[in-house]
Amino acid sequence: MTTKIVVTGSKGRMGQTILLHAKQDPQIEVVDSFDQDESIENHLKRGATIMDFTTHTATPIFAKAAQKAGCPMVIGTTGFSDAERATIVNASKTIPVVLTPNMSVGVNLLFSVTKILCTALKEGFDIEIIEKHHRHKKDSPSGTAVRLVEMIAEVKGRQVLKSTKHGRSGNMGARSGDEIGVHSIRGGDFVGEHTVIFAGDGEVFEITHKANSREIFAKGALVAAKWASKAKPGLYDMFDVLNLRTPQRDA
């Protein structure tokens, strides 16, 4: 069965990459594409999945239109405010929405392994996250880093969110046990690199995922589009798409 898609942000890096790979996939049919400054209503095709990698201000507008038209959505955009995210969540009540900061299979395995290690190393290990992206990336920290913090908080307790330190400067005193350090590097043409460090007394665990090409995100997005086209209304992520969610792992 062919999955029909409409690609937003067609002039952007991810939009272009998705279009390239979609045309090479016999199970995908691109029925339309447009840039973020155009009206989505002129491009909606009922039953087609909206592929959105635009901006945090444009996506909620697209989500409302997709909800009205009954079109599934796959969203890889990041940097949403609480109000913008609420609009997307509301849309997911009547259409399937796959919302994830990173559609790479490898990064979602990074999420999974991080959660497992966080459970096993819950006491006595300090956690730091380092993320690197190209000079043109606008939001910081990356959506992937934010999701890593959220997943760690699910294991260690939500109070760690209040103890997250985004970079450090000056005399901040000794590091607290609940603290998570998040450090953003911007420069060159880094596609995306994320490292999670578990630093204990006498031993250190480091997990790193490096994206060398945007192709991995495009391929993951197309997998998500095929999945979303058959899903029931709801808010999903790549754990659902890749069947990584288990009662033991995500209870």
Alpha helices, DSSP H, located in 100-189: 105-120, 143-156
Question: DSSP assignment, residue 157?
Answer: -
Single-letter amino acid code for the residue at 198:
F
CB neighbour burial string for 219-240, b if at least 16 within 10 angstroms, e if fewer: bbbbbbbbbbbebeeebbbbbb
Question: Which of the following is catalytic: 43, 115, 132, 133?
Answer: 133
Q: Cα separation of 111 and 33, whole Å?
A: 31
C-alpha angle with apex 160: 159 to 164, nearest 5 degrees? 130
The answer to whether residue 137 is catalytic is: yes
The answer to whether residue 134 is catalytic is: no
Question: DSSP assignment, residue 39?
Answer: -
Which of 37, 40, 43, 49 minimizes the C-alpha distance to 12? 37
State the angle between helix axes of 143-156 and 105-120 in degrees (0 to 180), rounded to the nearest 10.
Answer: 30
Single-letter amino acid code for the residue at 111:
F
| 98 and 241 Cβ atoms separated by less than 8 Å | yes
Q: How far is CA 229 from the centre of its chain?
A: 19
Question: Which of the following is catalytic: 45, 56, 137, 166?
Answer: 137
Q: Cα separation of 149 and 249, whole Å?
A: 16
Looking at the annotation, which residues are catalytic?
A: 133, 137
